[in-house]
Every structure is written in C-alpha cells, then in structure tokens.
Amino acid sequence: MAGSATTYRPASRKRGGPRPHVTPRSRDPGPAGARSAAQLRSGRGRAAQLQTDATMLSRLLKEHQAKQNERKELQEKRRREAITAATCLTEALVDHLNVGVAQAYVNQRKLDHEVKTLQIQAAQFAKQTGQWIGMVENFNQALKEIGDVENWARSIELDMRTIATALEYVYKGQLQSASS
C-alpha cells in the first residue's frame, strides 16, 4: 500500500507457536509541500480505496448497529421475561402467605364469635346463678322459719303438757279431797 509502512511487533515464538504480528501503520507524509508526484498520481487510486473503505466501514457500522439493536431487543425481551417471572414468583409467594393469613383471619373471627357467645352465656349463667342463690337464701329463710315454728310448736306443746299435768294434779287433788 502506498503511504503506509509495516511495523514489526515481535511475539514470543516457539516451535509451532504463533507467528510475529505485523500491523500496517500510516506514515506521516510530512509537510504538505513535501509530496512527490508519484504520491499525487496515486491519490486518485487512494481516493477510490478510501471510498471503498468508507463504504465497507459504513456497512460494518450498519451491521454492528443492527447486531447491537438485536442484542438490545433480546436484552429487553429477557428483561421483560425476568420481570414477568419475578412478578409471578412474588404473586405466588404472596398467595402462599395469604393462605395462612386468611386461615388465621378466619380462625380469629371464629374465636371472636366464640368469645362473644361465651361472654353472653357467662352473663346468663351469672344471672341464673344469682337467681339460684336468691332461691336458696329464700329456702334457707323458710327452713329457719319452719325450724322456728317447730321450735315454737315444741315450746307450746311443752307448755301445754305442763299445764295439762298441772290441771290433772289439781283435778286429782280435788277428787281426792272430795272423796275423803
């Protein structure tokens, strides 16, 4: 190639190893007035080569951009799939947890209902117990009164016996004094 030189870059060379790498490097043409006529004549071929290189570079750039766009689309698709999968996983986990929470809520409602029922029944039992206590107290009072009446009746019976005995003695004493 005109206007370019090759630079030798040595690489470690072993038997069967890689060959030394040679890279083309452009030369500095120097000051603008230092160009030779041969270089000016070869400028037309060089312009054609530059145009071909530009076309090739443009095509490579378009291919690179197309591949980059494909990668971006693939990456975006994978990102959407990952978001969808994460959303599904999150919903599944939340649903799994919600089952336990829902069961706990149902159990809590049942317990609350049972507590209310128990409170109502306890209040009714307390009222009924109060009534029973009142009835027992009335019964005890009646028994006391019966005991008092019985005691009174015994007392009267004893008094009547004493009076009857006294009357018998008086009557027998009168009979005996009349007969004598």
Residue 34: what pLDDT?
47
The gap between the terminal CA atoms of the chain, to the nearest Å, is 193
**Residue given tokens 């071909």 in the structure block:** 52
Residue 99, token pair as written in the block: 């089952």
Residue 180, token pair as written in the block: 């004598």
Q: How far apart are CA 138 and CA 86, in angstroms?
A: 76
Per-residue pLDDT of the chain (180 residues; tens, 9 = 90+): 444 455 544 554 455 555 555 455 455 455 444 455 555 455 667 878 888 888 898 999 999 999 999 999 999 999 999 999 999 999 998 888 888 888 999 999 999 999 999 999 999 999 999 999 999 999 888 888 877 878 888 888 999 999 999 988 888 888 777 776
Residue 145, token pair as written in the block: 């009164």
Q: How far apart are CA 53 and CA 9, in angstroms?
A: 25
Provide the 8-state DSSP code for 14.
-
Residue 78: what pLDDT?
96
- Residues forming beta bridges with residue 25, ordered by sequence position: 5
The whole-model pTM stands at: 0.37
Coil, helix or strand for 78? helix
Residue 33: what pLDDT?
47
| Contact between 22 and 15 (Cβ < 8 Å) | no
Residue 2: what pLDDT?
47
Angle, CA of 56, 61 and 63, to the nearest 5°: 95
